Structure 1
C-alpha cells in the first residue's frame, strides 16, 4: 500500500456513444470511442497527469498539481470540440460525442495500480451530477488554485452527494478561457440557504412547485404538469426532481433537453443525463434555446423565506 498524499482526481465521461453505436454499428463506433479516449489520455499526460484506468466510455486520472488538473479539464473539452466526431475513413454525419468532467482534491492512496480515498469518491459522485460539456469541482480544489484560476469558477451552492451525510461545496468551471471574463465571478464556498421551491413559466402559464410537489413532468402528454405541444418533444420528455434540498433536471427523451442559465452563454445539452438547477434560466425540449421555434420554459429556484408563493 502506498503512502497517502494530497492529489487531484479527474473523472471524464464521453456522452453520446449510444447514439453513435446506433448510427455507425458496433465496430465503427467502438473505433471512434477508443480513438477519443486515447486522445483524452494524451492530453492528460501532456498536462502532467496520469491515467489510472479507463471506465467504459470514460477514464480516471490523478494529478499532483490541482492547477494542472484544471488545465487538463479545459484541454479535454477544447480538444473534443475541435476534432471531427468520426475519424477519416468512417461514415460521416455521426452524432458528436459530448464530454463531462469532475475534479476533486484530497488525500489519496495508491493500491495495486488503483487509487482510493475520499477525493476519488467525491469526484465520482460529482460526475453523476455534471451535464454535457460541463466540469464540476469542489471547494477544496478551488481554494488550492491561483486567484486567476479561481475566477474561472462559479459556485453552485452546497450540494448533497450520494453516500455523504454532509453537503459539499460544488463549483462549475465556466466556458470562457482564463482571463477572458470581464468581471470576477464571486465564489461562495459556504453556499446559500437550501431552496424550497421552483418557479416554472411557459406559454403564458406559470406555476410554483414546492420540493414536496415534485417530480414535475415536462413533455407532450396532456398529463404532464408542463405540457409542450411540439412534435420534437416526447410525451414524457424530462422531469424536475428534488433530492437533498436541491432541484435537478433529468432528460428521458430521444431528442434531448437543453439548459441555459441566466447571464451565461453556455448551453448544457442533456441526453438521458441530469444537471443541477440553480439560480434562474431557460429549459428547452428537443431543440436548443437559440431555435426560434423552441418553447422556452423559464425557471427560477426559490427560497420561500424571500418569496411569497402563489398557489
Structure 2
C-alpha cells in the first residue's frame, strides 16, 4: 500500500564504532553498538515516532509531529550520556567513556510510504544533512523549526545555508543547543532563532594575539605547522597539515586532517566537539584546539569568529592570561 504523508524525518548515526571494533574485537563492540542503537530506537518509540529501519550504526525514523521528533532527539543524547540501568554493562561502559558520538539530522515534508519504507525529498535532505552534523549535534531544516512553538524555537541557533550533496539549492539549517531543561534560558543564552542577516563575509582567526581575517575567496585554508600552510601554527603538537577550512555552500566547514585530532568549542557552550578526521560547520565564534582541547593557555588554540555582511563587527573578546 502506498501513502503520501506529511512527516518529520529523523536520521541518527553513531560514530566511533570502527575504533571500538579495533580495540574491543567484534563480539564486544557489536554488543556495545547494538545496545546503543537500541537505546536510540527506544527514544523514538517512546516519543511517538516510528523506526523505519536501522542502518548499521544508526537508524531512520519518522514522526507525525515535529515537537515529538525534537523531544526524541533530546532523549537520545541524554540516554547515551546516562544509559538507564539494565541497558547492558558493555553499552553503559562504552557510552559513558565517550566511545560513541551521536549525530542527528531532521527534515520536514511529504514522504511516500511504500511497504513500510519511506521515500521523498525530506528523506534525502535529512540523510544528507547528517553529513554536516558534528559529534553530539542535532541539525534541522527551517521547515522543522516552523513546526515548533516559539518557546521551542528559541533553543535553536541559525547556521548558514548549506549546500547538500545532490541538491542545486542550499538549505537553511539550524542547530539545536542545550537540553530541554535549559529552554527557559535559551532566549538570552543563545539568541534569536531567526536566520541571521547577511552572508558570511570572512573568517577571523586569532593566534597568540595575532589577528588575521580571511575573505571567502582565500579558501580552502590549511592550518598547520608547515611554513607553506595558509595559517601557520608553530607548535610541536600541531601536524604540518593539521586541518583545513573550506568555504562551501555558504558556510565555513572545518575538517581535521591530523593524527592527534582537533577540538572545537563554540562560545556560550562548555561542550568540546572532538574531531578525528571529521568535520563540522563553524558558526558564530569560539575556539579551535589543534592536537589538544581548548583550556590550557599554553596549548595551540585559535580563536575564530564568522563575520557577516550587514552586521556590525562583533567586539573583540577579552584577552586571556
Q: Normalising by structure 1, what TM-score?
A: 0.89
Matches within 5 A, 1:58-69: 58-69=58-69
> Structure 1 91/139 Cα, relative in aligned 2: closer, same or farther at 3 Å?
closer
Q: Which residue of 2 aligns with 1:224?
A: 229
Could you say if the C-alpha distance between residues 302 and 92 of structure 1 is closer, same or farther in structure 2, counting changes exceeding 3 Å? closer
Structure 2, gaps ≥5 residues long = 314-321
Match status 1:195 vs 2:200 = yes
Choose 104-113 or 22-31, whichever is displaced more.
Answer: 22-31
Cα distance 1:234–1:18, how it changes in 2: closer, same or farther (>3 A)?
farther
Give yes or no for contact 1:152–1:174 (8 Å, CA) kept in 2. yes
* More moved, 198-207 vs 108-117: 198-207
CA contact (8 A) 2:266 2:285 kept: yes
Deviation at 1:87, TM superposition (A): 4.9
Alignment partners' CA distance in 2, 1:98 and 1:285: 20
The count of corresponding residues between Structure 1 and Structure 2 is 306
Question: Which region of structure 1 is more displaced relative to structure 2, 113-122 or 162-171?
Answer: 162-171
Retained in 1: the 8 A contact 2:162–2:248?
no
- Of 57-66 and 243-252, the range deviating more from structure 2: 243-252
Q: What's 1:102 paired with?
A: 105
The whole-number CA distance in structure 1 between the counterparts of 2:49 and 2:295 is: 37
SS class of match (2:180): coil
How much does 1:235 deviate? 2.9
Structure 1 match to 2:34:
34
Q: Which residue of 239, 244, 247 corresponds with 2:252? A: 247
Task: Kindly state the Cα deviation for residue 257 of structure 1 after the two structures are TM-superposed.
Answer: 1.6
Measure the CA separation in 2 of the matches of 1:195 and 1:5.
36
Q: In structure 1, list runs of 5 or more residues that go unmatched.
A: none
From the superposition, tell whether residues 230 and 24 of structure 1 become closer, same or farther in structure 2 (CA, over 3 Å): farther
Q: Distance in 1 between matches of 2:93 and 2:249?
A: 43
Aligned with residue 279 of structure 1, among 268, 284, 289? 284
RMSD: 2.6
- How far apart, CA to CA, are the structure 1 residues paired with 2:55 and 2:237? 33
Alpha-carbon spacing, 1:245–1:91, altered in 2? closer, same or farther (3 Å): closer
| Match among 283, 289, 295 for residue 290 of structure 1 | 295
Q: Which has the higher helix share?
A: 2
Contact 1:283/1:289 (<8 A) preserved: yes
1:136-215 alignment, distance < 5 Å: 136-178=139-181, 179-181=183-185, 183-184=187-188, 185-189=191-195, 191-215=196-220
Mapped partners of 1:183, 1:18: distance in 2: 38
* Residue 252 to residue 183, structure 1, CA distance change in 2 (3 Å): same
Instruction: Sort the Cα spacing of 1:219 and 1:282 in 2 relative to 1 into closer, same or farther, 3 A.
Output: same
Q: Deviations over 1:51-71 (max 9, x none)?
A: 111122111111111111000
CA spacing shift, 1:90–1:8, aligned 2, 3 Å:
closer
The change in CA–CA distance for 1:119 and 1:89 in structure 2 (over 3 A counts) is closer
State the SS of the aligned residue for 1:207: strand
SS of the aligned residue for 1:11 comes to strand
